Structure 1
Amino acid sequence: MRLTKRRRENLFALALGGVFLAGAIGNLAGAPMMIEDYARWGYPPGFNYVTGALELVTVALMVRRLTRRVGCLVGAIVMGAAIATLLLNSEYAHAVAPAAVLLGLALLGRMTPKNFLT
């Protein structure tokens, strides 16, 4: 079976959406280790819920092709903040995963046509 451009785009969007959904669940669950990380990074209590909500917004926007580019933008802001947080706290190795997701968002944004109806 040959994958069309649109099908590749949709599969890639689903994969990235899964990454953000997993992140949202982790942040919204409020695992003690996650809360300790946010405190160590200097964020106020409950900021993991803000991050989780933004990740859910990213997923919701990426599902539909019409709003996919906006979802990529929101996700890129979240990943940019994650990368900045990790680099400022000298956790360089941990910044690789969000950087890879950021690259994936950039690729998906390029794959999604500006004219969403095509």
Structure 2
Amino acid sequence: MLHTASIWLLVAAFFGAGLFNAIGTPATRSSFVRWGYPPCWCRVTGGLEMANAALLAFTVTRGAGLILGAVIVAAAALTVLRHREFSHLAPLGLFAALLVAAGMTS
């Protein structure tokens, strides 16, 4: 039960974050620029996050989704740590905890 819930929470979280990033509001774009990425990088990140949600949704591709999700979360954590924007760590911690919970029973 926890496994199924963590998978679908991950799917929703990655899709929601991906949609938010892909929309690329001015504030989102300026954050990516402040972190040293091109302004359009929010759309690349959003696309990866939504693709990851799709990978997680299907049993056959779930392993790849867990790996890609871990890479996305690690890259985001390194970025916010490097720029000392610690307020972003709480949501990233939730993503990491869900990835661990989902991966433990895969």
Both structures adopt the same fold (TM-score exceeding 0.5): yes
1:91 Cα deviation after fit: 1.0
Instruction: State the distance in 2 between where 1:12 and 1:104 align.
Output: 6
1:47-99 alpha-carbon deviations (Å, 9 max, x no partner)? 01110111011101100112112101101101101100000001123212112
Say whether 1:10 aligns with 2:7. no
Instruction: State the distance in 2 between where 1:8 and 1:64 align.
Output: 17
Aligned to 2:103: 109
Say whether 1:94 aligns with 2:94. no
Show structure 2 runs of 5+ residues with no match. none
Contact 2:11–2:57 under 8 Å retained in 1:
yes
More helix by share: 2
Percent identical among aligned pairs is: 29
Contact 2:73–2:96 under 8 Å retained in 1:
yes
Pick 1 or 2: higher relative contact order, CA cutoff 8 A, min separation 6.
2
Aligned length: 106
Structure with the greater alpha carbon radius of gyration: 1
Q: 2:42 aligns with which of 44, 48, 53?
A: 48
Instruction: State the distance in 1 between where 2:32 and 2:6 align.
Output: 29
